[in-house]
Chains A and B, each alone.
Chain A
């Protein structure tokens, strides 16, 4: 396995395996966006990019797919990532007709990965979702929180 520089023109892929066994193949550039955790692992690997599989035991396949989708859409943005990326996030959620639980899982995953932007956007969206609840019973109800 040769050491290849990250800026190589050849598309290099990184394999990420989520806890349900699905292997996601992502471009190296994208993978760098996927937060500190993955970057750290890749750095440790020291260039053995193409063949190794990075396990992500705490992340679901669905979640990973969503995050990758989001990253592919966001990676070309230069400035003002927050508002644009939030819109993108929203659109993706809408497309999937996602549930609040999904968003919560996403948040957990992005925290695990160490993706600050994603976590910030997700948190803001979730806050807005909470804000729409008229009273605490609703919050309980929607998010399945125990009352105590």
Chain B
């Protein structure tokens, strides 16, 4: 476990807006509410066997509730757990008298449920009817419970001592639940709280005389007496018996929102939920990151972040933050709106970056210096970035020796910068996109490039309109080149393209905007094996190619 400071609700505040946004965008509550009310109303009309009814209803609700394809079954299981939980957790009231006889426990079982059904008064009236319905289930459960209690009570004497404090806390919980259910539509609450509704439903189908009493869910909580609340709360916390590894195993299946919720439950969960293995990837594309949130995110040890088109609000980092090393390896900040200072601070914490995309962001020399310190960088995408100077380009090329793909297109490079680029670029580069260097990229540069990186596989020289046919001669020297683009390099006549046939490795040629349709046809006939004009957009170093949006560089960003 990483020893992180316990920040409690601070983190929630910062991270909640991010997650909250997701929830509002998806708007599950109202959708489920509609489903729930729909199914419940339908079930009032069609009583059927308890199990079928409950599970059907819940299946429908489950579908709206969870994203996974197993949502229905999981909802069912959850509800099954919930239903029994409500019945048996009330039995936990017998904590102090574990060896009570079964009939007595059955009776007590009826009590809490009677109370929960909205009548604060007599418990004897419908107890027989309720008992009939539940006797089968309850006796089984009670036996189960008494058995487990016998073993549990022996070992968990400590939990009893917690009861007084639990008693104090519980009424608050009851009130909170009530508030929430009141603000939402009556049947909006998820199956778990309307577990009482489930119990209600289970009994309802078997004994219709209860239907008159069964008014909407929210009122139930109000009528629960403090004594009963205490009984419910004084159960054994089985989570304490699970090792941290198992807890992590459970947590790893939780979506981030739930994970954050778990962090607010107790200290142990908070500690477990901060584990780095749970926070390896994060997709925050198109979101607004509140001030200070980015620092929290990075501190959690995230490895892969997608922040494409996100807007990072100032100040993203606390002034005192320094010295901690982020584990970040794959960073996608394409089209993100982030200030230079925040970007610099962010990158100053990163030394293990492997792939970075800063497409269309504002840079300066200090930022490039920080980038250069990530020696492990393999792919850099600086397409359409602004603020690159010759010195920063040179520094980056000299330092990033492991670089294999570089996209530095449309960055308004000066002639010096281009010279620096081609003279210092790492020989390991196999994919290079320097499109858009109008009037600054010359044939000599291509020649130097060839000498520097003879193993280049992909070269994009589109819109470098200073290139002349001499460039083709230089290009022909690339023995392994598979893809070449010289689109819109108007000084190169069409006749020279046919020479490219002599390159055995060249498979794809992009020459957009160079030839008329007729000429294209002729060329295609002359070069039948060449894929001409197949790729409109370059994919060099790009994190997301095509329509894929949930992964960057082939790495998943969503759990």
Minimum CB distance partner of B190 in chain A: A134
Which residues of B from 30 to 80 have beta carbons under 8 Å from A?
51, 55, 65-66, 68, 70, 73-80
A104 CA / B75 CA spacing, docked (Å): 17
Instruction: Let me know if A4 is at the binding interface, CB within 8 A.
Output: no
Residue of B169, B232, B238 near A108 (CB, 8 A) is: B238
Contact A145 B265 (CB under 8 A): yes
Interface check B483, CB cutoff 8 A = no
Count of B interface residues, CB-CB < 8 Å: 70
Residues of the B chain whose Cβ atoms lie less than 8 Å from the Cβ of A139: 261-262, 265
- Kindly state whether residue B173 has any CB partner on chain A within 8 Å: yes
* B80→A142 contact, CB < 8 A: no
CB-CB under 8 A from B262, the residues of chain A are: 130, 136, 139
A143 touches B239 (CB 8 A): yes
1/0 per residue A99-137: CB within 8 Å of B? 111111101100100000001100111111111111111
Which residues of A sit under 8 angstroms from B214, Cβ to Cβ? none
Q: Using Cβ atoms and an 8 Å threshold, which residues of chain A touch B77?
A: 90, 93-94, 125, 128-129
A67-109, CB under 8 A of B: which get 1 and which 0?
0000000000000000100110010011011111111110110
Given contact pairs A96-B144, A144-B89, a sample of 18 additional A-B residue pairs in the complex whose CB atoms are under 8 Å apart: A61-B147, A94-B76, A94-B80, A97-B84, A99-B84, A100-B82, A108-B238, A111-B246, A128-B70, A130-B250, A132-B65, A133-B192, A137-B176, A137-B177, A139-B262, A142-B89, A143-B237, A144-B237
Measured CB to CB, the nearest residue on chain B to A140 is B265
* Alpha-carbon gap, A118 to B84, bound state (A): 22
Across-interface contacts of B85 in A (CB, < 8 A):
99-101, 142
**Assuming the A-B contacts A20-B147, A125-B77, A146-B237, are A104 and B266 also in contact, with contact meaning beta carbons closer than 8 angstroms in the complex?**
no
Give the complex CA separation of A96 and B140 in angstroms.
9
Is residue B160 contacting chain A, with contact meaning CB distance below 8 A?
A: no
Q: How far in angstroms is the closest Cβ of chain B from A101?
A: 5
Bound: A134/B193 CA distance, A: 8
- Find the A residue at minimum CB distance from B68: A128
Complex: A131 Cα to B151 Cα, angstroms:
29
Interface band, chain A: 35 or more
CB of A131 within 8 A of CB of B254, answer: yes
Question: What CA separation (Å) do A140 and B169 show in the bound complex?
Answer: 11
Taking a contact as CB atoms under 8 Å apart, the answer to whether A101 and B148 are in contact is yes
In the assembled complex, the Cα of A144 lies from the Cα of B314 at a distance in Å of: 40
Contacting residues, chain B, for A7 (C-beta < 8 A): none
Q: Is B414 on the interface with A (CB-CB < 8 A)?
A: no
Among residues of A, the one whose C-beta sits closest to the C-beta of B65 is A132
Q: Give min CB distance, A80 to chain B, whole Å.
A: 13
A46 CB contacts on chain B under 8 angstroms: none
**Which residue of the partner chain, among B51, B192, B266, contacts A134 with CB atoms under 8 Å?**
B192
Q: C-beta contact mask, B4-23 vs A, less than 8 Å → 1, else 0?
A: 00000000000000000000
Residues of A within 8 A of B253 (CB): 123-124, 127-128
Q: Does B340 contact A (CB under 8 A)?
A: no
Contact of B285 with A by CB under 8 A? no
CA A29 – CA B169 in complex, angstroms? 50
Which residues of B167-201 are within 8 A (CB) of A?
169, 173, 176-177, 180, 189-193
